[in-house]
Amino acid sequence: MSFSDFLLDSRAKEITAEVRSIVKNNIDSEYLKAMDRDEVKFPREIYETYGKHNILGLRFPKEYGGRGLDWVSAVSAIAEIGVLGCACGCAYVMPDIVGEALTRFGTEEQKEKYLKPMLRGELVSAEALTEPRGGSDFFGATSKAEDKGDYFLVNGQKRFVVGAEGADFFLVYVRTNPDKNADPYKRISTLLIERSPGVEVSYLYGLMGSRGGGTGRLTFRNVKVPKENLVGGLHDGAMVFYDMMVPERLTSAAASIGGMRSMLEIAARYSDKRFAFGKKIRKFQAVNTMLAKGVTLMDASAGIVYQAAIAANINDPKMRRMVSEAKRFSTDSLWEVANLAMQILGGIGYTDVYPIEKALRDARLPQIWTGTNQIMDQLIQHEYYNEVLNMPESEQIRNIEGDAMNANEQDEKIFDDEGMWEVHE
């Protein structure tokens, strides 16, 4: 029995059960604690476990090691992984994100050399977009790759890279078009850069949560990258970026559902056992309405995430808006649910006797990474204005404005402020 089971087809139900069993039986609790204590610097064993069970990159063709499943199945699997928290969730979805770039834009040689071993869990990838100068402004990337004939010479810095410590290769966005006036969409290229002496981990971050994933700053010093490691066309990094942002954001949204589930189940069981004033605390409305709110947020998140998954399956024109909404809504909900669950547990919820405090520390991150939720808002409103203002007549609803009692009062329908300022002065 799964939450939102009825949203899944039979294939998605099967993969959900399979991944749940792996999460239950093959991930050691002591290892997760060592990650949270920062004793594990990089969770290679976790990647290997996923790879061994053949659950990485489920959407990709079988010939490359995937299972050719659709987004609904992929999302249901990610929701199961989400109960393990951010760092293990990130380890699970990274091959999906980097694999998206490789399957869509990579050459056959790149798929052979990087995609296949990555989906077996033998080669670990990381993605490097964010720079010290800023992450939201992707097009402002300053790390650069100079064309030196048969190779690129790469210099620059990327920060907050999960797997800076530990990953075998990096998908890196670099500026290749030095022309100051170049169109932002024709400035950047995507390169596969292997760990090599010029690739330095210059700083490992002390993180609030999501620990053990090897998040650090990368410095590239005169790194020679063969031309065949270009993914997509020269200066076409923007196309790769737009495509990758679908799995990047939909996976964050999907994992949040699992995070909410784990915290709510702990809160429900706790409130059914804990007594205050002679009765179970779940009998207090102040407590059970917190639970009701949390469960509603979880189910609403599942609704919006699966809606976005279906849109992604069919590449619907509304897909980008749906994915941004799913990311924004379910990651905000995750944070809210973490706080509700902690409140239901009271003081003990704030301690490490229960895993809510760890889940709460993790929960803050998805609102920030893979594009902040403010950037999601920018995308949502932009897409929505475009849809509404360019909607063909056949798709428009009836003239609702005409149903207003005084709809014909044209003199009251003032839109421009021409001349207004003179009147008020």
Ligand X SMILES: Cc1cc2nc3c(=O)[nH]c(=O)nc-3n(C[C@H](O)[C@H](O)[C@H](O)COP(=O)(O)OP(=O)(O)OC[C@H]3O[C@@H](n4cnc5c(N)ncnc54)[C@H](O)[C@@H]3O)c2cc1C
Size of the site for ligand X (CB under 6 A): 23
Task: Name the minimum Å distance from CB 36 to ligand X.
Answer: 14
Specify the 3-state DSSP secondary structure of 316: coil
224, two tokens: 């020679």
Task: CB nearer to ligand X: give 204 or 310.
Answer: 204
Task: CB nearer to ligand X: give 116 or 327.
Answer: 327
Nearest residue to 367 (alpha-carbon basis) of 342, 339, 402, 334: 334
266, two tokens: 């702990």
Task: CB nearer to ligand X: give 127 or 236.
Answer: 127
CB atoms < 10 A from the CB of 280, how many? 14
CB atoms < 10 A from the CB of 264, how many? 20
Site residues (CB under 6 A) for ligand X, limited to 315-334: none
Site residues (CB under 6 A) for ligand X, limited to 50-69: none
Task: CB nearer to ligand X: give 241 or 306.
Answer: 241
Q: Residue 372 — left, alpha, or beta (φ > 0 → left; ψ -120 to 50 → alpha)?
A: beta
Task: Name the minimum Å distance from CB 129 to ligand X.
Answer: 3
Helix, strand and coil content of the chain, in percent to the nearest 5, comes to 55, 15, 30
Site string for ligand X, 360-399 (x = CB under 6 A): -----x--xxxxx-xx--x---------------------
207 scored as a contact of ligand X (CB under 6 A): yes
Task: Name the minimum Å distance from CB 123 to ligand X.
Answer: 17
- Tell me how long the chain is: 425
Contacts (Cβ under 8 Å, ≥6 apart) of 194: 168, 169, 170
23 scored as a contact of ligand X (CB under 6 A): no
Residue nearest to ligand X (CB): 135
Among 21, 26, 136, 196, binds ligand X (CB under 6 A): 136
Task: CB nearer to ligand X: give 237 or 294.
Answer: 237
CA atoms of 172 and 101, how far apart (whole Å): 11
CA atoms of 88 and 72, how far apart (whole Å): 20
Site string for ligand X, 103-132 (x = CB under 6 A): -----------------------xxxxx--
First to last CA, the chain: 68
- Which residues on neighbouring strands pair with residue 170, listed in sequence order? 126, 193
92 scored as a contact of ligand X (CB under 6 A): no
Site residues (CB under 6 A) for ligand X, limited to 140-159: none
Task: Name the minimum Å distance from CB 248 to ligand X.
Answer: 9
Task: CB nearer to ligand X: give 97 or 308.
Answer: 97
Task: Name the minimum Å distance from CB 69 to ligand X.
Answer: 24
- Each as own residue / partner, the long-range contacts of residues 313-316 (CB below 8 Å, 24 or more positions apart, any chain) are 313/70, 313/71, 313/72
* Site residues, ligand X (CB under 6 A): 126-130, 134-136, 160-162, 207, 210, 215, 365, 368-372, 374-375, 378
